[in-house]
Amino acid sequence: MFKKRLTEQYPEQEKTTAPRFHGRHQLNRHPDGLEKCIGCELCAWACPADAIYVEGADNTEEERYSPGERYGRVYQINYARCILCGLCIEACPTRALTMTNEFELADSSREALIYTKDQLLAGLTEGMVESPHSIFPGTDEQDYYRGLVTEAAPGTVRQVAVSKGETAAGSAEEVQA
């Protein structure tokens, strides 16, 4: 009763969170830029709120998003349902999914609370090449999971993503048109 009232000036002064705070999710990348998500859907199965939707697809040599056989083609988290429990993080076998300290998730519409893969994927840092691109020459997928690949191969360029039933020449003509 005799203590001074504590008033937080939240919007004007940034609130600091604990280092292990469970905030917004993030999909991580390997050091060369390939995605860590292998589309196994274990995070979706572990989610008690059914807030995660994952749709896996197969990698090809012409279009490679992750070092393994599969990648997460569609990845969505519905923050209107998510309870930020972290069970999806524990279920992820490749540490592709982690949680950040970002806690400001409010929005004006329900549709905006459904985060897609583009919004969740970590940004590129120095030395990374945007996927799809080929794996580091002379390595296999196990080398990625062991941490032996530390940067993109010199001369690595982004591959042109081609959907099924479409040729690379056809997509190049559409881009020029």
| Model pLDDT for residues 96-108, shown as the tens digit of each residue | 999 999 888 889 9
- Model confidence pLDDT, tens digit, residues 113-132: 999 999 999 988 888 888 88
Segment 47-74 shows an average pLDDT of 92
Residue 175: the pLDDT is 39
> Residue 173: pLDDT above 60?
no
| Rounded Cα gap, residues 92 and 42, in angstroms | 6
d(C-alpha 23, C-alpha 99), whole Å: 6
- Contact call for residues 31 and 128 (beta carbons, < 8 A): yes
Instruction: Look at residue 153 in the predicted model and tell me its pLDDT.
Output: 79
Assigned CATH for 25-150 = 3.30.70.3270
Residue 155 Ramachandran class (φ > 0 left, ψ -120 to 50 alpha, else beta): left
**pTM for the whole thing?**
0.79
* Rounded Cα gap, residues 100 and 80, in angstroms: 18
| 74 φ/ψ angles, rounded to the nearest 5 degrees | -120, 130
pLDDT at 137: 82
Burial of 88 (0-12, 13-18, 19+ CB in 10 A): buried
Q: Name the residue ranges covered by the structural domains of the chain.
A: 25-150
